[in-house]
Chains A and B, each alone.
Chain A
Amino acid sequence: MSSERATIIGLEVHVQLDTHSKLFCGCSTRFGAPPNVHTCPVCLGAPGALPVLNRRALDLAIRVGLALNCRIERNTKWDRKNYFYPDLPKGYQISQFDRPICAEGYLDLMDAENDRDQRRIEIERAHLEEDAGKSSHDETGAGGDSKIDLNRAGTPLLEIVTRPDLRSGTEAKTFLTELKLILSNLGVSDCNMQEGSLRVDANVNLHLLEGEHPIATPIVEIKNLNSFRAVQRAIDFEAERQWKQWQADGKTIDQGAKQTRGWDDESGQTLLQRTKEDSADYRYFPDPDLIVVHTTEEQLENIREEIGSPPSQQRKDLISIYGLSSYDAGVLVQQGAPFVDFF
Chain B
Amino acid sequence: MDLSSFSAYQLIDLLDRHELSAVDCVTYFLQRTEDRNAQWNAFMTVAQDSAMEQARTIDQRRKRGESVGRLAGLPVAIKDGICTAGIRTTAGSPMLEEFVPFYNATAVQRLLEADAILIGKTMMDEFGMGSSTENPHFGATRNPWDPERVAGGSSGGSAAAVAGGLAPLALGSDTGGSIRQPAAFCGLTGLKPTYGRVSRYGLIAYASSLEQIGPLSRSAQDAAMLMEICAGHDPNDSTSAHRDVDDYTDQLDSGIEGLRIGICRDYLTTGLAAENAEALEEALNVLQSLGAQLVDIELPHASHAVAAYYVIAPCEASANLARFDGVRYTHRAESSRLDEMYSRTRSQFFGEEVKRRILLGTFALSSGYYDQYYRKASQIRRLVKRDFDSVLADVDLLVGPTTPGSASLLGQWKDDPVSMYLADIYTVSANLAGIPALSIPCGSDANGLPIGMQLQGRPFAESTLLQVAHQFQQQTDFHTRRPE
Contacts and interface: CB of A to CB of B under 8 A. Distances in A.
Please tell me whether chains A and B touch each other in their complex, using a CB distance cut-off of 8 A.
yes
Interface of A: 41, 44-53, 80, 82, 84, 86, 89-92, 143, 146, 148, 281, 283-285, 288-291
A82 B208 contact: no
Contacts of B208: 288-289
Interface string B216-256: 00000000000000000001111100000000000000000
B360 to A, nearest CB: 13
A47 B101 contact: yes
B336 A90 contact: no
A291 B327 contact: no
B200 interface: yes
Interface residues of B, number: 45
B322 A92 contact: yes
B370 interface: yes
Given A48-B205, A52-B238, A289-B238, 18 more contacts: A41-B101, A47-B91, A47-B323, A49-B202, A84-B325, A89-B323, A91-B319, A91-B321, A91-B325, A92-B319, A283-B319, A283-B365, A285-B370, A288-B207, A288-B239, A289-B208, A289-B239, A291-B238
B322 A90 contact: yes
Given A48-B204, A92-B319, A92-B322, A285 B83 contact: no
Given A90-B322, A283-B318, A50 B238 contact: yes
Contact of A45 (B83, B209, B239, B323): B323
B158 to A, nearest CB: 17
Given A47-B101, A50-B200, A281-B367, A86 B318 contact: no
Nearest to B316: A288
A48 B203 contact: yes
Interface of B: 82-83, 89, 91, 96, 99, 101-103, 105, 200-205, 207-209, 235-239, 315-316, 318-319, 321-323, 325, 327-329, 336, 338-339, 342, 362, 365-367, 370, 374
A49 B323 CA distance: 11
Contacts of A51: 238
Nearest to B367: A281
A251 B173 CA distance: 57
B239 A82 contact: no
Contacts of B83: 47-48
A53 B239 CA distance: 11
A53 B236 CA distance: 10
A180 B247 CA distance: 55
Contacts of A290: 238-239
Nearest to A290: B238
A82 B365 contact: yes
A313 to B, nearest CB: 38
Give the 7 A-B residue pairs with the shortest CB-CB distance, closest first.
A91-B322, A288-B209, A283-B365, A288-B208, A48-B202, A47-B204, A45-B323
12 contacts: A48-B101, A48-B103, A48-B105, A82-B318, A84-B339, A90-B323, A91-B319, A91-B325, A148-B327, A281-B366, A289-B208, A290-B238
Nearest to A40: B103
Contacts of A45: 323, 328
A50 B237 contact: yes
B441 to A, nearest CB: 31
A50 B365 contact: no
A89 B319 CA distance: 12
Given A143-B336, A285-B374, A47 B329 contact: yes
B76 to A, nearest CB: 18
Contacts of B204: 47-48
B329 A283 contact: no
A52 B101 contact: no
B200 A52 contact: no
A148 B322 CA distance: 17
A89 B120 CA distance: 29
B235 A52 contact: yes
A144 B404 CA distance: 57
A91 B444 CA distance: 46
A86 B362 CA distance: 19
Given A48-B83, A48-B203, A82 B323 contact: no
Contacts of B323: 45, 47, 89-91
B68 to A, nearest CB: 28
Contacts of B201: 48-50
Contacts of A281: 366-367
Contacts of B342: 84
Contact of A285 (B96, B321, B338, B365): B365
Contacts of B328: 44-46, 89
Nearest to A289: B208
A48 B367 CA distance: 28
A46 B329 contact: yes
Contacts of A291: 238-239
Nearest to B375: A285
Contacts of B205: 47-48, 289
B319 A285 contact: yes
B236 to A, nearest CB: 6
A283 B362 contact: yes
B327 A50 contact: no
Contact of A41 (B103, B237, B316, B325): B103
Nearest to B90: A47
Contacts of B102: 41
Given A90-B323, A281-B367, A46 B103 contact: yes
A140 B344 CA distance: 27
A143 B336 CA distance: 9
Q: Which of B207, B327, B339, B342 has the most CB of A within 10 A?
A: B327
